[in-house]
Structure 1
Amino acid sequence: MDLPPGCMVSEKQCQKVCKLKKSLYGLKQSPRAWFERFTKSMRAFGYRQSNSDHTLFLKKQHGKITALIVYVDDMVVTGNDPEERKALQNYLSREFEMKDLGPLKYFLGIEVSRSSEGIFLSQRKYALDLLQETGMSGCQPVNTPIKEGLKLCVEPNQVSTDKGRYQRLVGRLMYLAHTRPDLAYALSVVSQYMHNPGEQHMNVVMRILRYLKNAPGKGILFAKNVNHQSIEVYTDADWAGALDDRRSTSGYFTFVGGNLVTWKSKKQNVVARSSVEAEFRAACDIAHNLVQHDRTKHVEMDRFFIKEKLDDKIVELPKIRSEDQLTDILTKAISSQVFSKFLDKLGMCDIYAPT
């Protein structure tokens, strides 16, 4: 390492080196040590570390709440207590060298826009940069990320494709999943063939890029809503949709106050002869078996937990008609008309699109 500025040494010492005793950056232990110190500082100021996400810190007082989330050394602070936010900022400025960048506009590749209607999140710049890098800026756009009725599998004599390029493209596209639930199912499908991609799989990846060209600025609008405590969940599963192993794909959407907050599309770990049969057998076998095994005990706990919430009228399980089942876009490829209708219900829009 170089000598610090202003450090004077004699000619005899100019050939010597400095011994590093402490480093803030460059060592794998440094991030953990810094985060431990940051956590202690936040706790000392009265904040509680979230159990579900250790990078989230919360403080509730006088009916108000303040939240801070940190990623490496970037932080976002929000809440309905302006005095507490200012006090937290002053406290962190004394504890750490930091800079206030003002209202949130850009964080981890996510663009934040505000209006009288609410807050809009998108990754438009990232999508445009990806199209530019892949040479797809001038491609013909499509209305859905995956063709209706398409079924992928590994064929015995399939035409191979560039495995490295396939993996890089899917990896880059996966980052868009933070604000793009419309891509969830398509990305769930193509990510299953990372180690053995064929030409048909690469064609789907190219179609996803063509779909991005159609609406690179599409994102989620968090509308202002006073009923912020209402929670709705849509969940569903197809039946043996995967041709390779006949496993089902399940998905869910979670809404808080009418705004979409979480979603997931994932192939199940086991093969079910039918979705109804799998649930029915699990419930009946456990109910008639007095000896609870470790493999099924968690299912039994979940069943009783849900039953208690139903009995207490905390949770309702209404039947959703097929034409209103939003999770269809997480479990199968559907028509462009249905796809567009469901995206509107999810609160997805493109504020950059011409009107």
Structure 2
Amino acid sequence: MTTDNSSLQLEKIVPQADDFLPLLGTDYVELYVGNAKQAAHYYQSAWGFQPLAYAGLETGLDDRVSYVLVQDKIRLVLTSPLKKGGDINRHIEAHGDGVKVVALWVDDATKSYKETTSRGAESYMEPKTVKDSNGEVVLSGIHTYGETVHIFVERKNYNGVFLPGYQAWNPEYKPESVGLKFIDHMVGNVGWNEMNKWCEFYAKVMGFAQLISFDDEDISTEYTALMSKVMSNGNGRIKFPINEPADGRKRSQIEEYIDFYNGAGVQHIALATDNIIETVTALKERGVEFLYVPESYYDTVLDRVGKIDEDLAPLKELGILIDRDDEGYLLQLFTKPVLDRPTMFFEIIQRKGAQSFGKGNFKALFEAIEREQEMRGTL
């Protein structure tokens, strides 16, 4: 896991970002789950993640177990408690399975901590150095919306499999990858009238800039609506859309999420692929369920988005959505919730130049979500 530090000077593509906090990318995403062993099997079998590292009783931990999975630049950490009581159990009881940590790869975790806490961030973890025979890692952390936290990971002096305290996890069972490349963006749901507060947090505390804003005119159907703003760091590697509910005739997906998650949290993780047709085909064959898009969507979609490289037939068969902006177009598809509670889901996205987030698809997407809400009795 060594990295050539000469490659860390990343181009600034969002000029309005202050960027006093250089972020090199998403280091990992950690979910607190009820059964990490079984969750790991799901992400291997259904999503093509590869086993990377493990920590638990065999590595000297007696209160928790963690499985680390990887696919290209995406790392998932699945953590479960081994004893009653404690923060992990409390988190799972309150929220169900869900994202606890969005870890950010940095060149200097101590500086990242000082920059953010001096601007008002609440401390989660003061800078600490953890070591083993493979070197050392510096970690620090701050709180963000809900019970979600950001951990800053400085790993330039480490060449182990993941982090100190983890050992290589190398089981025989290794289903093939489905072609996922990296995390494109991660979306947070926050409560009524909290979107601007958290957008200001990312601007003031982390030097992000607002890329796009959507109001309830942009994101609404006959029944429900929401508001959203997209915050990005300077090099564009970290993009955090923030959603809040808006007034509608019925309960929106954001309200449903907050009710079942018991507060703000990560709503979905968008995973990038270079071939969405192949990726979604593989995911469906492995049992991943996606939202249904009516065939009528495809009657006029090319009139709206213009010429695309792909044949429309396989996109229609798989239910993949298409949208265009001034830079190009994108292809995207959303899973149904992947947990028992109707909370977290995934987006699969392939960008063909487009830098936007599929505004032209919002109505079709939200109507698809409402159909699922109606079946759950939560609309």
Q: Which TM-score band applies after superposition, normalised by the shorter structure?
A: under 0.3
More RCO (CA 8 Å, sep 6+): 2
Larger Rg: 1
TM-score, scaled to structure 2? 0.25
TM-score by length of 1: 0.27
